[in-house]
């Protein structure tokens, strides 16, 4: 399976999950649970943790209609990233210490970089909402 086809598969799954509140909530719970498990491992990237928690905040703000100034494509990428993190068809299996999380970090960082402008806008909105 090519990388391009697998990304399309994750995006297709993301579109279905976004429109199903129960599935989306379960996905977010699973991500938070896996992050908690990985937090015991000091080698886990703090950046990965921060990015995924940011993705969850953006998705929650979007689905609750608090913040809807984000393109549909961005939301799909965010959810696809969460799906990959939980149900990866990894190049490197997660049970291999350190190396197993590398491809997760790489994909999440790629998504982050791809939607950096949308993320910056969200963070600005989030900061102004707290004031």
In order, the DSSP letters of 90-112 are -SS-TTSTTHHHHHHHHHHHHHH
% of the chain residues with pLDDT over 90: 56
Q: What are the residue ranges of helices labelled H in 40-130?
A: 46-63, 72-86, 99-114, 116-130
User: With 80 as the cut, is the pLDDT of residue 103 above it?
Assistant: no
Supply the mean pLDDT for the chain: 84
User: With 50 as the cut, is the pLDDT of residue 61 above it?
Assistant: yes
CA dist 128 and 119 (Å) reads: 14
What is the per-residue pLDDT for 7?
76
What is the per-residue pLDDT for 38?
79
What is the average pLDDT across 3-11?
71
CA dist 74 and 77 (Å) reads: 5
What is the per-residue pLDDT for 1?
37
User: With 70 as the cut, is the pLDDT of residue 42 above it?
Assistant: no
CB 85 within 8 A of CB 108: yes
What is the average pLDDT across 7-18?
89
- Closest alpha carbon to 62 in 3, 21, 1: 21
What is the average pLDDT across 109-124?
95
What is the per-residue pLDDT for 100?
57
């Amino acid at each position: 399976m090519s990388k391009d086809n697998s990304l399309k598969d994750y995006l297709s799954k993301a579109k279905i999950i976004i429109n199903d509140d129960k599935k989306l909530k379960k996905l977010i719970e699973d991500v938070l649970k896996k992050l908690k498990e990985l937090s015991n491992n000091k080698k886990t990237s703090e950046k990965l943790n921060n990015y995924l928690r940011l993705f969850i905040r953006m998705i929650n703000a979007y689905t609750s209609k608090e913040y809807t100034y984000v393109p549909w494509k961005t939301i799909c990428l965010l959810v696809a990233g969460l799906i990959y993190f939980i149900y990866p068809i990894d190049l490197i299996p997660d049970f291999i210490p350190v190396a197993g999380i590398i491809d997760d970090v790489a994909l999440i960082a790629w998504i982050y970089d791809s939607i950096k402008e949308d993320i910056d806008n969200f963070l600005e909105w989030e900061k102004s909402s707290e004031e």
